[in-house]
Structure 1
Amino acid sequence: MGARRGRGLVAGSCLALALLGGGSVAHATGDSTGESTPAADAGAQATATARPTGDGVRPVASPVPPSPVVPVDEGSAVDPAAVQAAVADELENPWLGGRVSVTVRDALTGEHLMDAAPDRETTPASLTKLLTAAAIVTVLPMEETFDTTVVGGVGQQADDIYLVSGGDMLLDRGHGDPDAVVGRAGLADLAEQVARARGPEAPPVTLHVDAGYGAGELAAPGWSDYWLAEGYTGPITMLGLGEDRAFVYHPAPRNPTQVTAAAFAEALEDAGVPVEGDADDQVPKTSAPEDAELLATVSSAPAGEVLTLALADSDNAMVEQLARQAAIRAGIGVEREDINQWVIDQVAGYGIDVSGVRLSDTSGLSDGTTIPARVVGDVLVAGTSGEHPELERVLGDLPIAGYTGTLHDRFLADRQEPARGVARAKTGSLPGVTSLGGTVVTRDDRLLVYVIIADRVDEPLILEARATTEDFVTELARCGC
């Protein structure tokens, strides 16, 4: 066969700093896999007006961010009665659907300032990812990278080469960008290393792909074909291209491993390494020989940066993939029920009472997951205690209200200006569910932790309910408590 023809928040000391009034340019992708739902898509570019006051919408981006920090570790202590009075109207708003679970804490002391059914077993949507992140950081070093390698056979199989997955689903088909998270490692770099290792006179290669690392289900059992087909999530893969991440109405390929292998075949051809077969041939999935020779390696961004991106974009597949890698590191394996239970056990390891927690997946997309607001609040407080630096780091990079991640297009009404830039949150959205959990700085420079989950919202009112949760956080920011 001839050669292949190429195809044309910050916690502890860090939480003493909070962004005020400015921020980075809005995240280009906006709400991702778990944060836009069919009921909300029609109004995804606007925040509902909770009270018809004619409030305007401010620009999202600040071309020259103002001074980004203000100390909050010595802010005035908060009066619980004042907090309860500040948010009373928002919690009584019928747009929330009448079933709400709330907790507000002092981030520095852990004191409960306000609770409303905090132990209710609610559907948290993507707030589930906060528990998963808390588990991941206990075993997966945040400075570690995920390596994609190419190995070659020996002896008579010397012209067989193997693209070996290593947990990077953000590869670039071209050259890697050392300053990027998506596309830190590039297939062109990998191919050029292979070309140098083999030399200019080497014969064509037969390409295989070894996808044995972390191999498991491509989708959680609760993920419907609709979620995948419409881009609310993509397959769980240990080898993928960053350009193929799923976003709403931009679905990921159903076989990202094969797409990546085909892209690598093209990169090899471009680097002067002929590949046996035709361009449309499937790249065979084959385990690399144990004695194979290492030919090339490229490394992803550090795990901490990848996890931060996964939370900022609420990328279901990426969170599931990282949870699987962490579970493998912990010796748990790749089975769904085992990983779910491992996450719960790791959260309990922080000293948190996990009563009422049931996980159907680790991203919050599947039906059947329940987490009380109290448990999410406990995770957030653990991340602001200064005792868990890796969790502190992750929570310190949650999206900023009005500026980044899944909050880039929220908190935009004029009445919500007090929260813009001083609140961080993980968002959660499912049909009939809206939730927020994060940190906010009060008018008196006190850092608070908050969680609000409404899981019986009338779907036609989901945007109004979302705006009400934003107003809840705004009142905390406005509070001179």
Structure 2
Amino acid sequence: MVSSGMRGAGGRSRYAVLPAVLLALVAAGGPAVAGAAAPPGTADDAAMTTAAPPTTRAEALPRPLPLTRPLGQVADGPEPDAATLTEDIADELDTDWLGPARRRAVTVRDALTGDVLAARNADRPVTPASTTKLLSAAAIVTGLPVEHTFTTRVVSGTSPEQLVLVAGGDMLLARGEGDADAVAGRAGVGDLAAQAAEALQARAVEGPVEVALDLQHVAGPDTLSTWTDFWVSEGYTGRIVQLGLEEDRALPQRPSPRDPAQETARAFAAALEEHGVRVADDPDGEAVDDPGWKAEEVQAPEQTEEVLATVESAPLRDVLALALATSDNAMVEQLARQAAVAAGGSVDEGALTTWIAQTLEQDYGIDMTGLHLADASGLSGGTLLTVDVIAEVLVAGADGSHPPLQSVLAAGGLPIAGYTGTLHDRFHLPVHAAAVGNARAKTGSLPHVTSLAGTVVTRDGRLLVYAMTADDIGEDGAVLEARSSLDEVVAQLARCGC
């Protein structure tokens, strides 16, 4: 096991001089965790702290530790002894950085059998933050096939000069041409405009044309009543829309536009003009190149409409994997709405969360009694789940019993430690090295809450599932220490030869 001195548990903080450390890391290019030459758990774990600082970005990026034997089926490895594994992670779980002992909930299971190997407060309802998204993903793939794509159309309106841009559930449209190899930006607004311009020319429509919007597809409010204005205004979530540009997805300190659908319509109108189609001013007299231009919202006439252009998104499997990997709150909410409606449900907040819970009970056999979902994304206050339930979802996605969920997680829905998604900047200390490139996890963060749930392969080649939450951690640098402590637990699981 790693000494408590390296962990900083109950002692000096590894982040006590955070500004100076961050400055040093930026100057050096990142942590020196690459280039280990021995298997996890050896003396070289500690020796890595004295490695020469990287001089290039490539050297600074983490790399997986070398394997001591070729990887086979993870079922080939022996299942760890529960008592030994519990003892091996005890020190990591006892750190004061995780807050009061009663508010730390942990479970570790064998991924293929579901056997519980370690547990603390595993049946106590806690605030899970964004690990909630794993439950929503499990429900979403029952409502929609993982190969389902989202179609954005342009149809004729009430006159030959009216073009209606019809939402179809894709909020990842490229402004220009689509990229067939991408998930975000697979379909392009520029491609829609090119097709529409060709169709207009074939019909001898000279313009000017009017661009309108049909937003009837799974219509609902673009925010939730349980979200604070702060989350939206500061970019911690975007708006829940069924038509949007990939570039308008929200990021912290870079909020999404107030009306992403209108931004998409504006991009479409501008692309039409680039293809030689004149676009009429909006009802207020604003031209397309004016920021105030808006498309009229209409309902496309079903009986007389003619499809002039279509583009298709990436498959749901890849879109949902991206939403999980980046922890995109709005995208998970809108995918959940589409899946619920496809299954005969409603976009109403209470009905949606009820549908998710009922789906978990009926399709996965997970008991949701006494638990509560406030939303599909984990951003709202009031969600209470046990780590047992989250682990059960992960086992279902790993043991082969639910191939659609398994395909989403395998497609990148669980980011790789030190590399992708919300784990790209985690597992960055030498003590975490055994998990880099090995562990995969969904993160969860709210004020005073940190969560981590995913999979890791032990040194003996056995796949484990873990779910951990601490929902009463301190302020300021405590969140960094708490996250690092959970990362250490996972690294210790990776070292397990138990």
1:323 to 336, 359, 379: 336
Listed one character per residue, the Cα deviations across residues 150-180 of structure 1 (whole Å, up to 9, x for unaligned) are 00035xx121110000000000110000000
> Is the alpha carbon distance of 1:375 and 1:44 closer, same or farther for their aligned partners in structure 2, counting shifts above 3 Å?
farther
Match of residue 284 from structure 1: 296
2:298 partner amino acid? T
Listed one character per residue, the Cα deviations across residues 84-137 of structure 1 (whole Å, up to 9, x for unaligned) are 101101111110001111110011111110110111110000000000000001
> Is the alpha carbon distance of 1:406 and 1:74 closer, same or farther for their aligned partners in structure 2, counting shifts above 3 Å?
same
Listed one character per residue, the Cα deviations across residues 208-227 of structure 1 (whole Å, up to 9, x for unaligned) are 10011111011111211111
Gaps of 5+ in 1: 1-39
1:175 partner amino acid? E
For the pair 1:346 / 2:359, whether they are aligned, the reply is yes
Listed one character per residue, the Cα deviations across residues 390-435 of structure 1 (whole Å, up to 9, x for unaligned) are 1111222310111111101111111111111110000001110001
Match of residue 441 from structure 1: 457
Flag the structure with higher helix content: 2
Q: Is the 8 A contact 2:62 2:418 kept in 1?
A: no
Distance 1:122 1:322 in 2: 25
Distance 2:63 2:392 in 1: 36
Structure 1 residue 333: Cα displacement? 1.7
Distance 2:150 2:311 in 1: 8
Q: Is the 8 A contact 1:60 1:403 kept in 2?
A: no
Match of residue 3 from structure 2: none
Distance 1:342 1:192 in 2: 40
Q: Is the 8 A contact 1:377 1:451 kept in 2?
A: yes
Listed one character per residue, the Cα deviations across residues 330-384 of structure 1 (whole Å, up to 9, x for unaligned) are 1112111100110111111211111332111100000000110000011111111
Listed one character per residue, the Cα deviations across residues 25-71 of structure 1 (whole Å, up to 9, x for unaligned) are xxxxxxxxxxxxxxx999999899xxx99947985636999899822
Aligned pairs, how many? Answer: 437
Match of residue 474 from structure 1: 491
Match of residue 61 from structure 1: 61
1:451 to 467, 480, 488: 467
SS in 2 for 1:138: helix
Q: Is the 8 A contact 1:43 1:463 kept in 2?
A: no
Q: 1:252-291 to 2 correspondence within 5 Å?
A: 252-277=256-281, 278-279=287-288, 280-290=292-302, 291=304
2:479 to 459, 462, 466: 462
Provide the TM-score with structure 2 as the length reference.
Answer: 0.84
Match of residue 14 from structure 2: none
Structure 1 residue 323: Cα displacement? 0.3
For the pair 1:167 / 2:183, whether they are aligned, the reply is no
Distance 1:171 1:457 in 2: 39
SS in 1 for 2:391: helix
Match of residue 211 from structure 1: 215
Match of residue 310 from structure 1: 323
Distance 1:363 1:53 in 2: 41
Gaps of 5+ in 2: 1-17, 32-45, 282-286
Distance 1:261 1:300 in 2: 17
Q: Is the 8 A contact 2:64 2:436 kept in 1?
A: no
SS in 2 for 1:199: helix
Tell which deviates more after alignment, 233-242 or 194-203: 194-203
Distance 1:436 1:69 in 2: 28
Match of residue 405 from structure 1: 421
Distance 2:48 2:140 in 1: 44
* Same amino acid, percent of matched pairs: 52
Listed one character per residue, the Cα deviations across residues 285-333 of structure 1 (whole Å, up to 9, x for unaligned) are 1111112111110111111100000000000000001000001101112
Distance 2:293 2:403 in 1: 48
Q: 1:81-160 to 2 correspondence within 5 Å?
A: 81-98=83-100, 99-153=103-157, 157-160=159-162
SS in 2 for 1:208: strand
1:129 partner amino acid? K
2:401 to 372, 381, 387: 387
For the pair 1:226 / 2:238, whether they are aligned, the reply is no
Match of residue 369 from structure 1: 383
Q: Relative contact order: is structure 1 or structure 2 higher (C-alpha 8 Å, sep ≥ 6)?
A: 1
> Is the alpha carbon distance of 1:424 and 1:69 closer, same or farther for their aligned partners in structure 2, counting shifts above 3 Å?
farther
SS in 1 for 2:112: coil
Match of residue 437 from structure 2: 421
SS in 2 for 1:406: helix
Distance 1:310 1:440 in 2: 21
SS in 2 for 1:448: strand
SS in 2 for 1:195: helix
